[in-house]
């Protein structure tokens, strides 16, 4: 999926994932087949200039955004404390 063919809904999701501290660029690559540079281009074209600069300053060199720089293992993109949701019912902790 290239930038020209990506839908508005997917662009919103890419922007959301790019802002999240713990979501690495590799997860965006896996889900949307967009390179880090393509994500940067999307962010540049869809954010205000001040927001883009704030985001770039925030993610540059951040270990959590780059798998190779992480010092901890990455699981399945899911928090271990997240509850299971099935058939619109949330399981309760005992």
Residues 7, 36: Cα–Cα separation, whole Å: 18
Q: Mind listing the pLDDT tens digit for each residue in 65-89?
A: 766 655 545 555 555 545 555 545 5
Domain extent, residue 39, equals 3-90
Q: Mind listing the pLDDT tens digit for each residue in 37-65?
A: 999 999 999 999 999 999 999 888 777 77
Q: What total of structural domains would you count in the chain?
A: 1
How sure is the predictor about 91, in pLDDT bands with cuts at 50, 70 and 90?
low
- Per residue, the 3-state secondary structure of the chain, as one string, reads CCHHHCCHHHHHHHHHHHHCCCCCHHHHHHHHCCCHHHHHHHHHHHCCHHHHHHHHHHHCCCHHHCHHHCCCCCCCCCCCCCCCEECCEECCCC
Q: What is the pLDDT of residue 60?
A: 84
Whole-structure pTM value: 0.64
């Amino acid at each position: 999926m290239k930038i020209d063919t990506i839908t508005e809904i997917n662009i919103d999701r890419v922007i959301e994932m790019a802002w999240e501290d713990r979501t690495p660029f590799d997860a965006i690559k896996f889900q949307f087949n967009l390179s880090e540079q393509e994500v940067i281009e999307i962010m540049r074209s869809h954010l205000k200039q001040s927001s883009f600069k704030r985001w770039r300053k925030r993610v540059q060199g951040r270990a959590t955004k780059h798998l190779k720089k992480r010092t901890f293992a990455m699981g399945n993109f899911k928090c271990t404390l997240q509850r299971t949701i099935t058939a619109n019912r949330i399981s309760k902790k005992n």
